[in-house]
Structures are given as C-alpha cells and as structure tokens.
Amino acid sequence: MRRRLFLVETAAVLAAVVSLPRSLGAANSMRPAVDHIINIADFVFNPANPKVRVGDRVTWINKDIVPHTATAKDRSWDTGALAPNQRHTITVKAGMTQSYFCHYHPSMIANLDLD
C-alpha cells in the first residue's frame, strides 16, 4: 500500500515537472501583442533588427523627404510606397520572411528578428 502511494506521488511530481515548461511556454505565447515602431530616417531602418513575435504589430514610419518601402526579400509582404510622414503596419505571422529592404533604395536592408 505504502509502495503504491509512493509510486502515485512520484508520478504526480514527474507529471508536474514535465508540464512546467509547457505551462511557461503557454504563458509566453499568451503575452499580449506588442507594437513595434521602425523609423525610416536618413536612409536607415531604425531599429534595424528588432525582436518580434507572432501576433506583434510592426509599424514603419517614413521620416525622410523621399518615398521608401519595406519589402520582404522574397517580396512575400510589402508596405507599399510610404510617402514622407506616412506609416504602414504589418502583423507578424509565423514563418514570415524576416529580411527586408527598400524597393526604391536596395542598399537599405534590415531584418525582423522573429522569436
């Protein structure tokens, strides 16, 4: 009887330990979506490599005097042309292409660091 009780208790502890990381993971995935701002100024995306998660919203704001875009390297997503002072928001999706550039000025490159 005591042996059976010991086994049941051990199994319960093990189950709790095994499920702990899952619980933490669930808590992480349940965190509210975060808004990220990327300024485009002086022909630079700033920040150039923000950490983002699925569900977050990323907004590009063009602060230069000429139009820019934020365009995925494989062109799977695109803000379209952003006139001076214009902004565009994209929601981060699982597996989305992280590297992007300005279609008009391809030397401008940046990255979304998808967690």
Partner 1 sequence: MKLSTMAALVGITFSALMGIAQANDPSKLNDLQIAHVAYTADNIDIRYAHLALAISSNPRIHEFAKTMIRDHTLVNQKALALLKKLNASPQDNFLSRQLTKNSKVLVDEMSKLRGAAFDKRYAGNELAYHKAVNGLVANAFIPNIENAEVKALFKTGLKIFKAHEKHAEMMVKRLK
User: Are the CB atoms for 45 and 110 separated by under 8 Å?
Assistant: yes
Tell which one of 12, 20, 26, 66 touches partner 1 (CB under 8 A).
66
Tell which one of 53, 63, 88, 103 touches partner 1 (CB under 8 A).
103
- The answer to whether 108 contacts partner 1 (rule: CB under 8 A) is yes
Q: How far is the CB of 24 from partner 1 (least distance, A)?
A: 44
User: Are the CB atoms for 108 and 102 separated by under 8 Å?
Assistant: yes
Phi, psi of 90, deg, nearest 5: -125, 135
Q: Which residues bind partner 1 (CB under 8 A)?
A: 42-43, 64-67, 103-108
